[in-house]
A and B are shown apart, each in its own frame.
Chain A
């Protein structure tokens, strides 16, 4: 495929585009306007639901690729014994207006849950297998992202290499040029999408690519959250500088609400449970879970390997920014979306703790 095919899409055509998709039966997801100025990614029932100006909603693409509650299969006690039924096929989904950080998180999910998963389970085929629920959602989706012209007040994606614009990993990336979007195609699926709506997309104008590049340069100057210490923080963690007192301090500010984990676009731990749907049938489903809750690791005997909040806070940051996990995953566990900064009532969010980590090593070299 030729690299980086570029198109132009007039903003005035967007309502028509979305409306045609919805009429066709596609699931269309995009930033929804909530109450009191809150935005979140959700399913649009009409093109009119789309939020106007926004940087990023409280919940990103995780709501689509990894829903808070998701059916895994249904069971039924039939005459011949137990019958199991898997969820059926779903229509195409178009994810509209996703920000670069959230797309980066989806690309990380690909490596963990789906395409190319390295540490996959192998009990059926002998080969690592993708998570079938994630894979199905991923494979039916077209991701149309939008670069950020101005960083949000809590954003720090420049420090995590996940924005404000992307160079790959999207199907189509839009850049806001005022009256029109400059649209870069990043995958065969993106190309197909443009071809399907040829009447709405036109070839990109001369100079639009330069204008998009200028936007990215400009956007990089608008970050207000200085967090460029990930590498140092990781060294501090791996070299054992972060003693129990450090994690106790983090825990002292943490109220254990799990908010950071729920809003984190890269957190993917889940609980599994059964739910009755009648006398002889029910479903197995999964739902978001968080390592911040004591019950996450508490065993039936009452023994809990992570009994204290300090243990659990350490766990979260270790999973996100340790060399051990970086060797397993292609990226660190943070895309700099800033949601934990907004969500945390105790102000012990990722950037704050990264700053503490960096300073801690300097102050206490004692081992």
Chain B
């Protein structure tokens, strides 16, 4: 008999980090060894996470672990499942379906090219899986730039990583916030205000972006103005999602399922959709 695509793997939360007042990062491990070895994720993929009794919700994977059966995702508590998840502690059990969806690696082959990553708020976590991948294969890629913005300094996630990244000499990290605050000496403004500070070899640069729809919309407009080729603009799309496996119909944009045909799309695909993606 075929495996039941709706049946999650029973998994355990192994560690939790508090990122911002309402956002936590969960390290998770699939319990059964035979199931764990089937779980090998690629950057950009996501999981459906079950909190039994509350339901399930999709979360982007935030690392590219070399070991099968382990994963990390970052979740803001803002709905039924995510609120229930926020009450759990290390050692508690959840369900995991995945890895689901496609990968940044399924789009244009960016090896040998310069990389520009543009993240907004809670959109940085899914990009981090690609950032991880690039660090693991750093020699395969050219100049590496990350732009990261959030509404306020409090809402920047992965401050411990940002600190480390800012010290690397093989990466240029620029941060911005919409509204500054005490102790913030960096840029103030939306993420596109960082563009003039960059020297880009545009024909040779691939952009990966993820963030709130309104941010992605304006990022793409600016990138197109700068002359970026459409195939080199790679973005994730997001929709309210239920099953995660291409059946329930919730996440369709036009005739594309975000869950099985995405979540990663390049701009040639996005502009051809019958509904507005952002």
Q: Which residues of A contact B (CB under 8 A)?
A: 72-73, 75, 77, 81-84, 86, 112-113, 119-121, 123-125, 129-133, 135, 268-274, 276, 282, 284, 286, 289, 291, 296-301, 303, 305-306, 311, 315, 318-319, 322, 324-325, 327-328
Contact = CB atoms under 8 A, between A and B. Distances in A.
B98 interface: yes
Contacts of A86: 4, 7
B6 A270 contact: no
29 contacts: A72-B7, A82-B93, A86-B7, A112-B247, A120-B260, A121-B259, A124-B3, A124-B38, A125-B3, A129-B2, A129-B5, A132-B3, A135-B2, A268-B247, A269-B250, A270-B243, A270-B249, A271-B248, A272-B242, A273-B55, A284-B50, A297-B240, A298-B240, A299-B239, A300-B79, A305-B239, A305-B276, A319-B252, A325-B255
A318 B274 contact: yes
B182 interface: no
B249 A268 contact: yes
Contacts, number: 140
A125 B249 CA distance: 22
Contacts of B79: 300
A290 to B, nearest CB: 9
Chain A interface, DSSP helix/strand/loop, else mixed? mixed
B3 A129 contact: yes
Nearest to B47: A123
A327 B99 CA distance: 27
Given A272-B242, A297-B239, A299-B240, A130 B248 contact: no
B181 interface: no
Residue with the greatest number of chain A CB neighbours at <10 A, chosen from B254, B260, B274, B276: B274
Interface in B6-30: 6-8, 10, 12
Interface in B199-237: 213
B255 A270 contact: no
A289 B249 contact: yes
Contacts of A125: 2-3
Nearest to B257: A119
Contact of B5 (A123, A270, A297, A303): A123
A47 B227 CA distance: 71
A292 B52 CA distance: 28
**Chain B: interface size category:** 35 or more
A81 B93 CA distance: 7
A284 B244 CA distance: 15
Nearest to A304: B240
A324 B274 contact: yes
B253 interface: yes
B274 A75 contact: no
B95 interface: yes
Sort A-B residue pairs by CB-CB distance and give the 10 closest, nearest first. A269-B249, A121-B245, A324-B255, A300-B79, A124-B3, A75-B52, A132-B4, A272-B242, A72-B6, A82-B93
A286 B213 contact: no
A112 B248 CA distance: 11
B81 to A, nearest CB: 9
B246 A289 contact: no
Given A121-B245, A271-B248, A296-B250, A73 B5 contact: no
B245 A123 contact: yes
Contact of B242 (A271, A291, A325): A271
B7 A84 contact: yes
B276 to A, nearest CB: 7
Contacts of B6: 72-73, 132-133, 284
B274 A276 contact: no
B54 interface: yes
Contacts of A296: 240, 250
Nearest to B247: A131
Given A81-B12, A124-B5, A296-B240, 14 more contacts: A86-B4, A119-B260, A119-B261, A121-B245, A130-B2, A282-B53, A296-B250, A300-B78, A300-B79, A305-B239, A305-B275, A305-B276, A322-B255, A328-B255
